[in-house]
Amino acid sequence: MAMKSLPFLVVLSLLAITLPLAIASDPSPLQDFCVSANTSADGVFVNGKFCKDPKLVTADDFFFSGLQNARPVTSPVGSTVTAVNVNNLLGLNTLGISLVRIDYAVNGQNPPHTHPRATEILVVEQGTLLVGFVTSNPDNRLFTKVLNEGDVFVFPEGLIHFQANIGKEPAVAFAALSSQNPGVITIANTVFGSNPAINPSILARAFQLDPRIVVDLQNKFKK
């Protein structure tokens, strides 16, 4: 009986070892690097990108410049996010990491959003931010903190989070994310700005609002 159960125990052990790897945001690379290329010529398709021939790779493929410069803030929410990911730093392909600079106007915010493929760690470069995230159902517990220059905060993968400038001057933060392409789902834009639009009666019931208010919100977020 014990001998017959041995293969099953082996399988369980293997699953216990490999499952954490299988559900990681980005798979571990099997080569030193795989610089993204825009053509399939002499390339291999990895992580949604074609790999550049390693013999043609240069230092510039791992280089991005200008992140020290302030970005203009013109969005209605009062922030500008400048991403450094696999789409503009090709050497990040398969490396499982990316970076953003966030500029906040006075009273600006990076509104509630989520990254479906990444944990985020943020450091404040300038100013004072109120940051927080909300846990999943059913608790929906809010964790929030006021951050000053040099302070660091972590947002767990997939959870809704935000930052708001509560200081009297513009603020700047930098954040690293545990994916080459973490994705972003801004809650308000996604719910009220979907294409095509979600039936207003569904959103009215979900948010317990008058359908006319939902329609007004959808018009504000219409692309």
Q: Say whether both 162 and 208 belong to one domain.
A: no
Split into its structural domains, the chain has a count of 2
pLDDT (tens, 9 = 90+) of the chain, 223 residues, equals 444 555 655 555 555 555 554 455 676 666 778 888 866 665 555 556 788 888 999 999 999 999 999 999 999 999 999 999 999 999 999 899 999 999 999 999 999 999 999 999 999 999 999 999 999 999 999 999 999 999 999 999 999 999 999 999 999 999 999 999 899 999 999 999 999 999 999 999 999 999 999 999 999 998 7
Q: Say whether both 197 and 105 belong to one domain.
A: no
CB-CB contact of 81 with 148 (8 Å):
no
Binding site feature residues: 110, 113, 115, 120, 161
Binding site feature residues for Mn(2+): 113, 115, 120, 161
Three-state DSSP at 60 gives helix
Binding site feature residues for oxalate: 110, 115, 120
Count of residues making up the chain: 223
Q: Is residue 1 a part of any domain in this protein?
A: no
Q: Is residue 101 a part of any domain in this protein?
A: yes
Instruction: Record the pTM.
Output: 0.82
Structural domain for 195, as ranges: 190-221
